[in-house]
Structure 1
Amino acid sequence: MNLTLPSYFLLSGLPGLEHLHVWISLPVSFMYLVTLLSTFCVLFVIKTVPSLHQPMYIFLSMLLVADLVQSNSTIPKMLLIFWFNHREISFEGCLVQMFFIHAFSIFNSSVLLAMAFDRYVAVCHPLRYVTILTTPVITKIGILGAIRVIFLMLPELFLLKRLPFCQNHIIKQTYCEHMAVVKISCGDFRINSIYGLFVALSVMGVDIVFIAASYTLIVKAVLRIPSREARRKLRKTCVTHICVILVAYISALFSFLSHRFEGHMVVSTQIILSNIYLFFPQMFNPIIYGINTKEIQKNVLKLFSCRKSLNI
């Protein structure tokens, strides 16, 4: 069985656009730097400001840390391809990268669901908020998210390792995405494809249903309040989180559809679309919260003003 496993794969980058790799790396590098800077700023503010040690911001920290892990597991390798044509990745390295990408996508979805529950409790049961979302409860939610990751990811890796790989070791991607790796196998990968679809639907489908249910209850509760106050409370409580949910799930949908219907589009276009969910949510999540959350915005500005005054 081990003889069927390759020692390495080759990542294709963007086929047909190799001459533009250096130029394409510029926006990729910019988005990566923005992601790192904005994420570290928000995480630092949450850690150092006691008033932000609340369930909502703890969940936000989980989301941002997961985004960081996902970005750092893919973008540096992507830039090596664009800058130096360093396309080789070991079989084990490919499995590790695949695990981090998909595992933290699943964990992010769990955190978004937890944040929706947090907003539901804050709006519908404000007097019980502190007693419901205690530190032990938040810890259990994080552990349950991690357990779901392990439960769903281990079969995926096992099913991949059982596949034979023949002469073709070129993955038509900039990273080790599950379906892109599976499709270069010379064996029957229908089970892998079905299981990948099951994971996507069981994670996104289930979480979206519960998130929608939470916001339905939130809207019903808010509509009972006088209109002006209702609009203000709804915007303050929910708009930021809804924006993050839309960015995350729409980006994931683009990636999912690009792999399922790749035969109907140019390979480079398919790869670019599938990369959307590795850039946009990670870059926009800290920016959205930084702009729409006054506590974070105020303390980030204070942080930069202090650094500026020290430089003077």
Structure 2
Amino acid sequence: MEAANSSTSEMPVFILMGIPGLEDAHIWISIPLAAFYVTALLANSTVLSVVAKEQCLHKPMYLMICMLALSDIITSTSFMPKTLCIFWFNLKSITLNGCLTQLFFFQASSAVHSGVLVIMAVDRYVAICNPLRYTTILTNARTAKLGLVCLVRAVLFILPMPLLLRWLPFCSNNIIAHTYCDNMAVAKVSCGDITGSRIYGLMLACIMIGFDLTVIALSYALILRALLRLSSKKANQKALSTCTAHILVILMAYPAGLFSSLAHRFGQGITPYVHIISSNLHYIIPPMLNPIVYGVNTKELREKVVAFLGRTFSAGVFDYKTAGRGKY
């Protein structure tokens, strides 16, 4: 603990405590978290591989799904390996620079994820309300540019967060009661004035998430208005079915995320381990389920993924049999 009690003139070292109050259950909690993480990596990597290899999937919709998959991989990888090291090997220490790097990638990839959901909402609006011009409005090049805008926006908005924390003084109590470096969790262990970090974090959540939710809500309001004008019930059902996957991903992304953000600031009455477990699940379960949701609800992608897995499995069995014959 000597490193944790470093003076403000030295590079502080933080101690991530994991889940206070449930230390004895860390190993059991780590089992489902590790399974969720491995599943998320495999599922999202499979989607990226299939879309990259299949020429017929080089369309704006699948490009957006790839953006979502990539942001999910970065989000989960930015904190889960360290969390598992805490649970399995009791490796709790992390330097200030390491902590702020983790925070930046974690928050920036989450911001990109939110931006991609906005692009997907606009995509569904154009596909349903202006289908004849869909291919001219949303081209691959334009979709890629929108993705780049999401990335630049995330970097510009998130970068001040670790910079504000970098200049805070840290004295003797550098123990963070969490599994990863969250903005407010780090700010609360500072012995300086954290008003700037607190206000910026709250403004960021309100402005960025507020803007994204407003655009998504507006898109679906226009979609609903267009659907109400359709006389064919079958056409209504077909149009709604194209939005099902996106709506499910939105429901997984925002409610739990808002709860986690607000709990750090106003949730003094919430049991700490409830907040920590819920925040970990929020950032690992959606990355695991998102590719499954889009795979189930998107026929073309589902067929290509099944074919890809079939070829991979067949090749693996063939290589195993060939190796077995060669051995004897």
Normalising by structure 1, we get a TM-score of 0.95
Q: Match for residue 24 of structure 1?
A: 29
Instruction: Please say if residues 5 and 161 of structure 1, whose CA atoms lie closer than 8 Å, have aligned partners that are also in contact.
Output: no
1:116 to 115, 118, 121: 121
Does the Cα contact within 8 Å between 2:8 and 2:171 map onto a contact in 1? no
What runs of 5+ residues in structure 1 fail to find an aligned partner? none
Aligned counterparts of 1:267 and 1:308: Cα–Cα separation in 2 = 44
d(CA) in 1 for partners of 2:52 and 2:241? 22
Counterparts of residues 1-312 of structure 1 (less than 5 Å) = 3-4=8-9, 6-310=11-315, 311=317
Counterpart of 2:276 in structure 1: which amino acid? I
- Asked whether the equivalents of residues 12 and 170 of structure 2 are also in contact (C-alpha less than 8 Å), the reply is no
Q: Give RMSD over aligned pairs.
A: 1.6
Contact 2:230 2:236 (C-alpha < 8 Å) held by counterparts: no
TM-score with structure 2 setting the length: 0.91
Aligned partners of 1:93 and 1:170: how far apart in 2?
A: 15
Q: CA deviation at 1:303?
A: 1.7
Amino-acid identity (%):
45
Distance of aligned partners of 1:5 and 1:199 in 2 relative to their CA distance in 1, 3 Å threshold: farther
- Superposed displacement of residue 5, structure 1: 5.8
The Cα of 1:178 is off from its aligned counterpart by 0.4
Distance 2:183 2:10 in 1: 16
Aligned-pair distance for 1:272?
1.1
- Classify the secondary structure of the residue corresponding to 2:168: coil
Query: CA-to-partner distance for each residue in 1:152-208, whole Å, 9 max, x for gaps?
Result: 122212211121111011111100110100001111111211110000111111110
Contact 1:81-1:87 at 8 Å conserved across structures: yes
Aligned equivalents of 2:144, 2:309: Cα separation in 1 = 32
CA distance in 2, matches of 1:166, 1:257: 26
Larger Rg: 2
What are the ranges of 5 or more consecutive residues in structure 2 without an aligned counterpart?
1-6, 319-328
Is contact 1:103–1:153 with CA below 8 Å preserved after alignment?
yes
Q: Deviations over 1:78-118 (max 9, x none)?
A: 00000010001111110100001111111111110011111
CA distance in 2, matches of 1:223, 1:47: 37
Deviations 1:257-283 (A, max 9, x none): 321234202221221122232112211
Post-superposition offset of 1:4: 4.6
More deviation, 13-22/130-139: 130-139
